[in-house]
Structure 1
Amino acid sequence: MKKSLSSFITILIIMMVIVGCSSSTTEPTNDSNEGDSNTSSTDSNSGMPDRPFVYVAQQVVGSVDPAKHTDETELIAVLNTYDPLVYPKVKEGSMEPGSHIAETWEVSEDGKTYTFKLTEGVTFQSGNPLTAKDVVYSIQRMMAIKQGFSWLWSGVLNPDNVVAKDDYTVEFTLDSAYAPFVSTLTQLFIVDSETLKANQADGEFGDNGDYGQKYLEEKVAGSGPYTLEKWERGSQLTFAKYDNYFKGWSEGQIEEFQMKIITEQATVKTMLVSGEADMVHQWLTVDTYKEFASTEGIKVQEDPSVQLYHLPINTQKAPTDDVNVRKAISYAFDYTIATEQIMNGAVQAQGPVPVLVPGHNDQVTVYNKDIEKAKEYLAQSKYAGQELEVEFMYLSENPFQRQIAQLLQSNLAEIGITVKLNGGPWTQITETTAKVETTPHIASISDTLKYPHVDSHTFGIYHPSAHGSYRSSAWYDDAATTELLETARKSTVVEEQMENYQEAQALIVENAPSVYVANPNHRIAFQDYVEGYNYVGLLGYDLGFYNLTVK
């Protein structure tokens, strides 16, 4: 068992070394050649202004409760105020899970029992010590609330089988072997059980009341490097250094930062160029990053990503409940324009798993624009001869998604399908895709690895237990796929795991529940006095501000 796990971790390390070696920041250039995108500015030597560090995000934070977070901005808030049980090796440029709150761990030969030794001396921001009982409470709370990433352990872990053996030893006994288990624990953030119990309201969870949900609507109960000082909903969150953070503090680390929510691209550009912001998010247009790269004092870092950009198709709503309609849509879409023009040379996706992720199946069917083939599939559908209209929902404040919306509308018009465009904010997309009946026919989703394993983009999107999230807005439910994914998870031999995950990928693509558009490059821009930034491909983990320094 240990040998199999070690083999898989080795593959992960190699993959992330490739990613790390491929990232770069270079001197400024006015060369607009799209093939030369590794650019940045020269140092301005101006230094960090005397104010809190400012990071500009593009979507509203809906929750700072670590049992409820689902997307990048929410994870940033949680990651900086709480500690996960294990932490990816960001400083080494790897997404491999490493020691953190869990100092060491052992796995039984049958792959079912995991015993974690915890780091001693960790305190919550309340001053309470972090012990094994807090780990037990955190996983039980998360699985009881059944939101956020709780689906990671649904069906494989009975929360009653998580036991504190002593103050600093916790044991998880799984129902069956579960291949990505340690990797999933990057999403288990530990809460202060004493604080939540002291502040719980009446609720549906017996002696645990509401499990402190009302309290965590405004406050945090974590041990992370920063305290949440102020939350101006919809506009800004302010964080300050937790003096007694267990990893200590060094000169140059960020002691106070603000996360400002700005949806207008022009405003974001102005803030970074003028020096009002220190770092801005990854969701701007490629041309904007090119402008930043030619601006003195600004760096642009570009890395190959393990992100999937795709258009999930609702498989439970007419007319996209017919696989022939879904294949027609997949063949009508112009991937070349999308990847080369709109996304500036992104790699076309080959199914649901990004090409850099170990376990990716490079033998899956890859759809390309073929109008005649699209028309043939449409003619084979049960809706042949009918006038068809589908709704496409996309993020209206995202410039490239607006372009994708126009492209899809134009492409489907070529095969006689009318596309009703519905742009909206991120909150509308997450709320709408929570129920099958309100989910649009097609949505626009960027999906970064949520935990460092191929399981994230297979089981995490296409197993029925994942339904109810924007990630699974295809509402895919195929018995053969489900069986393959469950078998893969239970295998203790990496080779067997990968065989089942890859077979599942082929079957998923054959059922066409998404238009698999691209694995885009990851770009981020920041002032040249910011140091220590590492992109490892795992959702939000590049924005743990404790890992950054300013000069």
Structure 2
Amino acid sequence: RKALAYCIDYDTIINRIWPGARQSLGPVDMDTPGHNPNLFQYKQDLTKAEEELKQSPYYEKLDQYPIELHWVSQVPDFEKIALMLQANAAKLGITVEVVKVPWLSVIDLMAQIETTPHAQTLFVAPHYAEAGSMLESRYHSRSCGTWEQGEWLQSPEIDAMIEDAITTIDQKERFQKYYAVQEKIVELSPSIFVLDQPEKSAYRTDYVYWPTADASAKGEQVNQVMGYCYYFRDFKVFPEKAKQPYTPFKP
């Protein structure tokens, strides 16, 4: 797992495939409260990848263990990442079989450990605005069989750490416990943390006030929960400020 993490060409992905993205730092988005900013971050290094491989009892027979990597067909850029990993892994003697799969099939296949692929491309967002949300939905054993936990990680130690953290009332203490869980997961390396996805939307800045976009432009923290940036009750529209030509919407 660590060898494959070293195979990823993070710079090309960030600069060419997903411009505006940031390389992920661990299993929690960097803008989510409770994210640990002090985690180890992988860089592409095929020498280190081979060093990790040599520690495996399967090193001399890698050709006998091909890796099946599924990418979501609705996100074409996932294929580019998958093919890059395939090419780099091949340099180390690792065979990666890249498979295009529609989203509903992803959910179906990941419901059973027998049908879950060795690797699956995914974006995951928190269900509530704290690190504990992503840690629980991604790495607690009770999430196995859902699309969010294709790793099938079943660690009583990590389960206990997550449960202890999310039930801690004091915020400072809770966040420190989140930090410890993230360190444990990065060390275990059940996933490859590639990028924090930028969300881009077009809107009229001349007469539409969008709180989330305004906060983001100022460098302020915004809610990472999916959909919260489109809470239209907080939007404000000033038609009189619209630059010409302007055609009002007529339902």
The TM tier, using the shorter chain, reads: 0.7 to 0.9
Q: Please point out which of 210, 226, 229 is paired with 1:542.
A: 229
Shift of 1:455: 0.8
Task: Find the counterpart in structure 2 of residue 333 from structure 1.
Answer: 8
Q: Deviations over 1:88-130 (max 9, x none)?
A: xxxxxxxxxxxxxxxxxxxxxxxxxxxxxxxxxxxxxxxxxxx
Q: Contact (CA 8 Å) 2:33, 2:129: kept in 1 or not? A: no
Task: Give me the whole-angstrom Cα distance separating, in 2, the residues matched to 1:469 and 1:496.
Answer: 29
Q: Please point out which of 13, 21, 28 is paired with 1:353.
A: 28
Q: Deviations over 1:273-296 (max 9, x none)?
A: xxxxxxxxxxxxxxxxxxxxxxxx
Task: Give me the whole-angstrom Cα distance separating, in 2, the residues matched to 1:429 and 1:543.
Answer: 27
Shift of 1:479: 2.4
Task: Give me the whole-angstrom Cα distance separating, in 1, the residues matched to 2:129 and 2:24.
Answer: 18
Task: Give me the whole-angstrom Cα distance separating, in 2, the residues matched to 1:416 and 1:383.
Answer: 11
Task: Find the counterpart in structure 2 of residue 438 from structure 1.
Answer: 115
The CA RMSD measured in Å over matched residues stands at 2.1
Q: Contact (CA 8 Å) 1:332, 1:415: kept in 2 or not? A: no
Task: Give me the whole-angstrom Cα distance separating, in 2, the residues matched to 1:395 and 1:495.
Answer: 38
- In the alignment, is residue 482 of structure 1 matched against residue 183 of structure 2? no
Task: Find the counterpart in structure 1 of residue 175 from structure 2.
Answer: 498
Q: Contact (CA 8 Å) 1:349, 1:518: kept in 2 or not? A: yes
Give the counterpart letter for 1:539 in structure 2.
M
Shift of 1:525: 2.7
- 1:317-466 pair list within 5 angstroms: 326-386=1-61, 387=63, 388-466=65-143
Partner SS state of residue 515, structure 1: coil
Normalised to the residue count of structure 1, the TM-score between the two structures is: 0.39
Give the counterpart letter for 1:537 in structure 2.
Q
Q: Please point out which of 510, 513, 517 is paired with 2:194.
A: 517
Shift of 1:500: 1.1
Q: Deviations over 1:331-386 (max 9, x none)?
A: 11111111121111421111001111221112222111111111111121121211
Sort the Cα spacing of 1:495 and 1:378 in 2 relative to 1 into closer, same or farther, 3 A.
same
Q: Contact (CA 8 Å) 2:31, 2:224: kept in 1 or not? A: no
Shift of 1:415: 1.3
Sort the Cα spacing of 1:544 and 1:434 in 2 relative to 1 into closer, same or farther, 3 A.
farther
Task: Give me the whole-angstrom Cα distance separating, in 2, the residues matched to 1:530 and 1:409.
Answer: 47
Q: Contact (CA 8 Å) 2:7, 2:89: kept in 1 or not? A: yes
Sort the Cα spacing of 1:409 and 1:530 in 2 relative to 1 into closer, same or farther, 3 A.
farther
Structure that is richer in helix per residue: 2
Normalised to the residue count of structure 2, the TM-score between the two structures is: 0.83
Q: Contact (CA 8 Å) 2:32, 2:224: kept in 1 or not? A: no
How many corresponding residue pairs? Answer: 226
Q: Deviations over 1:49-88 (max 9, x none)?
A: xxxxxxxxxxxxxxxxxxxxxxxxxxxxxxxxxxxxxxxx
- 1:194-343 pair list within 5 angstroms: 326-343=1-18
Task: Give me the whole-angstrom Cα distance separating, in 2, the residues matched to 1:523 and 1:489.
Answer: 31
> What is the aligned-residue identity percentage?
30
Partner SS state of residue 509, structure 1: helix
Task: Find the counterpart in structure 1 of residue 245 from structure 2.
Answer: none
Q: Which runs of 5+ in 1 are unaligned?
A: 1-325
Shift of 1:542: 3.1
Shift of 1:527: 6.7
Task: Give me the whole-angstrom Cα distance separating, in 2, the residues matched to 1:425 and 1:545.
Answer: 31
- 1:164-179 pair list within 5 angstroms: none
Task: Find the counterpart in structure 2 of residue 193 from structure 1.
Answer: none
Task: Give me the whole-angstrom Cα distance separating, in 2, the residues matched to 1:475 and 1:509.
Answer: 16
Partner SS state of residue 471, structure 1: coil
Task: Give me the whole-angstrom Cα distance separating, in 2, the residues matched to 1:543 and 1:435.
Answer: 34
Shift of 1:432: 1.3
Partner SS state of residue 447, structure 1: coil
Shift of 1:529: 9.3
Shift of 1:478: 2.0
Task: Give me the whole-angstrom Cα distance separating, in 1, the residues matched to 2:102 and 2:230.
Answer: 22
Q: Contact (CA 8 Å) 1:331, 1:374: kept in 2 or not? A: yes
